[in-house]
Amino acid sequence: MRNVLLIHGGVGSDPSFNGRLNGYAETASEELSALDNAVRAVIKMEDDPDFNAGTGSVPRIDGSIQMDAAVMIPGHFGSVINIERVKNPILVARDVMAKSPHIMMTGDGAVKFARLMGYPDYDPMTEKARNLLKKFEEDVEKNEVPDKFKIYFKYVRVHDTVGAVARVEGEFAGAVSTGGSFPMMRGRVGDSPIPGAGIYVGERGAVVATGVGEEIAKNVLSFRIYSRIGTGKLYDIIKEEVDKFSVPVGIIAIDEKDYAYYANKPMAVGIKEF
């Protein structure tokens, strides 16, 4: 049974990024811990403005950037929700799990915790994000978008998450980070930082989801897939569950013997066996 690190750039991401993600997986797999592998891979994607996490995050309709991230290993979980002005939310989520008595930190409390942990102030706003917001505001002003709260599928960028699952020396871990979908209201929370929704890791494997967070969360998708591990081929389980959705959804998963991924839209992935 070989060690494996499997990562994705979000459902809707261009498969031409596969080579880049393979490189990130190659670099991240230098550590012997499954959690280290998963977190290091997500950091690479958070630092890449082509992916919607960390520096590549999309803005809220009020112009702010709020990010979510989560890590999980069997029996332990940590996440940050609507955190602002940090470079790598995934590292703060890991510290929530490892260095706090809590499993979730939100908003200004998450920011204060990040500062306590030594993470400096960082503005993830990019020119690409500013232009996205500007175009939206211009369309609203021209009445091309009559109701800014009913146009999700006109503007939504479906590659809304990056994630990783790892199996190293029989141990499992998962990590996920997102800049959210656009457009969305300040304070919106998707599936990524919710255990069982956007991520689930247990003794039998690890599952990470990407796609329309509201639908993924309502269906507790990652736990549903995890609960079926061992009942059939991993790919077949994932495909059956994803094909139930009419909105963009993707999954990466790993168990004791196999790993698999599937999405109902294009999805960039990277894989490293070692």
- Residue pLDDT, tens place only, 50-75: 999 999 999 998 999 999 999 999 99
132-136, 160-164, 166-170, 212-216: least confident range:
132-136
Write out pLDDT tens, residues 101-154.
999 999 999 999 999 999 999 999 999 999 988 888 887 777 665 565 555 556
Q: Is 211 annotated as a binding residue?
A: yes
Q: What is the mean pLDDT of the chain?
A: 93
Q: What is the CA radius of gyration of the chain?
A: 17
139-143, 160-164, 238-242, 243-247: least confident range:
139-143
- Listed residue (18, 19, 23, 29) closest to 166, CA to CA: 29
Q: Is 188 annotated as a binding residue?
A: yes
- What 3-state class would DSSP assign to 158? coil
Q: Starting at the edge strand that comes first in sequence, how are the strands of the sheet with 259-263 ordered?
A: 199-202, 205-211, 249-255, 259-263
Instruction: Tell me the β-bridge partners of 78.
Output: 71
How do the domains of the chain map onto residue ranges? 4-180+188-208+225-240+269-273
Which two structure tokens, joined as six digits, stand for 248?
Answer: 């963009």
Q: Report whether 242 contacts 230 (CB < 8 A).
A: no
- Listed residue (173, 207, 172, 167) closest to 191, CA to CA: 207
Write out pLDDT tens, residues 172-218.
999 999 998 888 889 999 999 999 999 999 999 999 999 999 999 99
Q: DSSP string spanning 229-252? A: TTSS-HHHHHHHHHTT-SS-EEEE
For residue 261, is pLDDT > 80? Answer: yes
Return the higher-pLDDT residue of 148 and 82: 82
For residue 92, is pLDDT > 60? Answer: yes
* Catalytic pick among 55, 106, 161, 178: 161
Cα–Cα distances (Å) from 55 to 85, 101, 202, in that order, read: 10, 28, 30
For residue 226, is pLDDT > 90? Answer: yes
d(CA 193, CA 186): 16
Q: Is 126 a catalytic residue?
A: no
Q: Is 157 annotated as a binding residue?
A: no
Q: Is 212 annotated as a binding residue?
A: yes
Q: Is 189 annotated as a binding residue?
A: yes
pTM above 0.85, yes or no: yes
d(CA 61, CA 45): 24
